[in-house]
Amino acid sequence: MKRILTVVSIATALLLSMQACYKDYGNYDYTTEDIYSSNWKSTSGAIRISPDMRTNPTNPAVSPFIFSVGEQVVVPAKYEIMDKTLNESDIRFEWYYGGELYSTEKTFVLDNCPTGRYTGMLVLTDTRYNQQYPSDFSFDVNEAYSSGWAMISEKDGESHLSYLYIDPTAEDQASSFILYKDVYASANNGAKLAPGVTHLTAHGYSCYPQIFAINIVQPGEEGPIDLNAHNMSVMGHIRNEFMAGAPSVDFKEIIYKQDNVYALATDGSVYVRREETYGFSDYVPHTGVFPTSPITGIKVFHWTDTTPVSSDMSAQCPVVIAYDENSKGCVQLSGYQATPMGDDFFINSYEAHRGGPGFDGTNEYPDITYPDPGDLSGYKVLKMNCCGFDADWLAMEQSLSVVMLLQRESDGKLFFYSFRYFNSWGTIDIDLDLFFPVPDNIPMDPATMITGDLVGGPDNIIFFTGTGNKDLYFFNAITGAIKKFYTAPAQITAFHSGEIQNPMAALGFGDWTQYAEKFVVATSDGKVRVLKMSRTDRASGNSSELYSFNSDLGPVTKIAFQSDSFQSL
């Protein structure tokens, strides 16, 4: 591969800033003079409302009451009776919120409030003389699910979405994990997910995501849904958007790119929605054009999402790589076009082993012939994934490794197959890397094997399970190295990594991303473990357990990691 070598002398780093949403529900007109005083105990009057209703006693810069999304907002009235002849029963409570009288209880209670800072007015009235004592109050609702793992579990004919949150402000590792159970039901008025969720992923919109979403593909009439990842409320129904006016279909997976969204149906059809753009590069979710016909000429049952392996949303590979059952070869999906990976893709490429014997990174296999990505005739594709995203943001260059598990149709033998995909300034190159039989000492069951595409940088690492889904292996898609690095005490039902972000690489100052050192492993006994493995630990098969819990919502079957910040885990 003739790669573009770029020398960067001056580069400007993009600084992200987050601004809290301030919602002032004021415009209150009271005829009674506000006799509030910061020296509230010494000021005359029958009732004095505490200044803690409006300022934080330990940090005046923040609100006195702080809640997380999904948590019930409970603000008690804080006051002191200065007139000993005044009884509690003679006090009337009035909470004004949203410009209206909201409650007359002693405590202000609000459910399902989005993120932001909110203000209102508390009015206490001495009913003996109809004397009013008003004071504003405020509270903050912070993002509850800004960094961590979303998890689907199955129990009693229902799917449940939970969230394992990573608290970056925790003083120690042991207290940095917070488990929120059944967050979908709590954020959507008790709604239930259908059993048998087939797909769970986190995705973002625009260059640096202002909106992060969790996508869930479930069977049944409702089908795929998009959740606002900050509060887990439903913000889009995929079936209605893709299939308006067309026959109903069942979807298998959804892939989100920079400006296109791809929906894969169970019959092999691929539908595309192009997102509307607001401003220069901010894509507005669920506002695109909704065609009712799939991409013509292809039937796709395996594809790979090239986005999650990127550490930088702005440098994501803009295409989807899929296997087309009609042509028996790989195709590139870009917008509404499907381009076969034939000879046109090999211009200016270097294929040391193309047309020759198989290769496992060290040894050649003269009895097998290396197939081209565009022609996999004679083999059945069982799994397809990608790893090792290598992005140079300033050079507009992306490269990744596509890994496939193939089964030879003549005898059922399994093979590992990988090639590198390069996209440099719109020029597409393919380099063939590996094609060799799965070693006999690695028992694999393709029907149950779990694969994960995890950020691996130059390691180009992909992960899979073996030996009855108890052993975890890693596979280097360039060198061919395979090693078992963890054995679970029970069958593994799902696993995923946590990403360690390298801001300098993401901004184009390097062409590598840091390795993943945290893994969440779920097993059939309902146990979920957070493991930590350095690069050295992983290679030697060592790990340490940071956190674990027993899921009472059934075995976890799907895990997705999401983070909308550069903060290391």
- What are the start-end ranges of the E strands in 290-355? 300-304, 320-324, 329-334, 337-340
Residue 460's contacts (CB-CB under 8 Å, 6 or more residues apart) are 387, 388, 401, 476, 477, 478
Which DSSP letter does residue 174 get? G
Between CA 18 and CA 87 the distance in angstroms is 47
**CA end-to-end span of the chain:** 34
Between CA 424 and CA 206 the distance in angstroms is 21
Model confidence at 224: pLDDT above 70: yes
Between CA 399 and CA 70 the distance in angstroms is 39
Between CA 100 and CA 136 the distance in angstroms is 14
**Which tens digits make up the pLDDT trace of 181-215?**
999 998 888 899 999 999 998 887 654 445 678 89
What does the block give as tokens for 163? 């969230």
345 in Cβ contact with 1 (< 8 Å): no
The pLDDT value recorded for residue 316 is 62
% residues pLDDT > 90 (the chain): 38
229 in Cβ contact with 562 (< 8 Å): yes
What does the block give as tokens for 359? 């290769």
**Which tens digits make up the pLDDT trace of 70-80?**
678 899 999 99
The pLDDT value recorded for residue 282 is 61
> Which pTM was predicted?
0.74
Average pLDDT, integer, range 526-533: 91
Model confidence at 388: pLDDT above 80: no
More confident residue, 177 or 376: 376
Left, alpha or beta for 556 (phi > 0: left; psi -120 to 50: alpha)?
A: beta
Q: Give the residue extent of every domain in the chain.
A: 22-142
The pLDDT value recorded for residue 346 is 60
Question: Which of 69, 180, 145 shows the shortest CA–CA distance to 551?
Answer: 180
* Domain made up of 22-142: CATH architecture: Sandwich (2.60)
The pLDDT value recorded for residue 38 is 36
Confidence of residue 27 (pLDDT cuts 50, 70, 90): very low
What does the block give as tokens for 421? 């995909």
**Which tens digits make up the pLDDT trace of 319-354?**
899 999 999 999 999 888 999 987 666 655 555 445
The pLDDT value recorded for residue 508 is 44
**Which tens digits make up the pLDDT trace of 44-80?**
589 999 988 887 665 666 678 888 766 788 999 999 9
